[in-house]
Amino acid sequence: MGTGLRPDVSVRPTAVTFSAEAILSLIATAGALVAFLLMLEEAIALRQGKDPMSNGVRAVVRRYPRVTYVLAVVIGMVLGHLLWP
């Protein structure tokens, strides 16, 4: 008890290092958050009788298929780079 020194706590915080697993986890968390927000917005929009945002996303994807393809390739390259041993 008290303000004594604690040997199990380091004196200075260490620098944050990003490993491949941490970056992959951040990408997966961001993707899950985007999917959740789109589903939430769609549920609210359908309840109010409006068009959901996912219809707009679908229209943009159909309007610019090459950009969508390039984005999919870049995501695949990043994931392949992080997961390949």
pTM of the model: 0.59
Does residue 41 fall inside a structural domain?
yes
Q: What angle do CA 23, 27, 30 make, to 5 degrees?
A: 135
Q: How many other CB atoms are found less than 10 A from the CB of residue 63? A: 9
Does residue 47 fall inside a structural domain?
yes
Domain, as residue range, for 41: 20-83
pLDDT digit string, tens, across residues 35-49 = 999 899 999 999 999
Does residue 51 fall inside a structural domain?
yes
Q: How many domains does the chain have?
A: 1
Q: What angle do CA 41, 52, 36 make, to 5 degrees?
A: 30
d(CA 51, CA 12): 53
d(CA 12, CA 28): 31
pLDDT digit string, tens, across residues 8-62 = 666 666 777 788 888 888 888 999 999 999 899 999 999 999 988 888 888 999 9
